[in-house]
Amino acid sequence: MALVRILNPRTASEAAVVMALLRAHEIPAFLHNGHIASVLPGVMVGSYNAQSVMVPQEHEADALELVVNFRTAPSPAGDSSAARNALELLFFLWFVPSHHTPRRGGKTLARFVALYEVPETEYANVAEPTFAVVLARSPKGVVLVFNRYRKVWELPGGLIDAGESARTCAARELVEEAGCPARNLEWLGLIEVEDVKTHIGAVFTCDVDAVSESFTSDEIGGITTCRRDSRPRPLGETDAALLNRFA
């Protein structure tokens, strides 16, 4: 059986998502170097710790169609230490970028890891989201709210309640945090973020007819709209990544 390479995953999480997606579509898939090399921590260095997703040649076209978004997606954001990389390259012949954990107002903020544009009907084969966020589009731009605790502007969203669907959560959080009822709520995919732990969330987009000039609550200290060329600061890292991709 001839195997062909369709993707070099950039993180362990991306590898797991791609493998689950292919198997959900009954496409045999193999992770080359999956047991003797590590994608995380660090970047992939040639054939040393790079992983490859392989499929039988007769399934190549179908597999490439499924993973097209992973092949074209931007690399996960992250900072690295040049001095540390140089030392590890010198002494260990490979390097591990240091992870930057964003903080503001004494709070640890979630670091964007990856976006997985999997269909809503198939996300259960990949991961179960624990929170939902929504890009609500108004005539004036995408809705952002100011979180009093994290002290950043962010997309409306929050934790999924017990027994609640991700879709219902997104619509509820938009009303609670921005006072806007959602129209035409559409699924965009799954997002992976990391603070102390790794978390998976559901991402939606919708239309809203109008945005209040002033909206506050115990959690929300303000509301605004933004376009690509006019974003408020400070802006959450994960929210910035989603706006870069979809707004």
pLDDT tens digits, 102-154: 555 555 677 888 888 899 998 888 889 999 999 999 999 999 999 999 999 99
Q: Is the CB of residue 209 less than 8 Å from the CB of residue 138?
A: yes
- What's the pLDDT at 86? 55
In the CATH hierarchy, which fold is given to the domain comprising 3-72?
Answer: Alpha-Beta Plaits (3.30.70)
Which band of pLDDT confidence, cut at 50, 70 and 90, is reported for residue 183? very high
Residue 71: band (very low, low, confident or very high) from pLDDT cuts 50, 70, 90: low
Indicate whether 88 pLDDT > 50: no
- pTM reported for the whole predicted model: 0.65
Per-residue tokens: 125:
């084969």
Distance CA 183, CA 134 (A): 12
Question: In whole numbers, what is the pLDDT of the chain averaged over residues?
Answer: 81
Over residues 160-171, the mean pLDDT reads 97
CATH number 3.20.20.140 given to 103-246: no
Domain residue spans in the chain?
A: 3-72, 103-246
- Residue 243, SS3 per DSSP: helix
Whether residue 192 contacts residue 114, with contact meaning beta carbons closer than 8 Å, is answered with: yes
d(CA 30, CA 223): 47
Given this model, what pLDDT does residue 75 score?
53
pLDDT value at position 26? 85
CA-wise closest residue to 101 among 13, 245, 197, 17: 197
- β partners of residue 115: 191
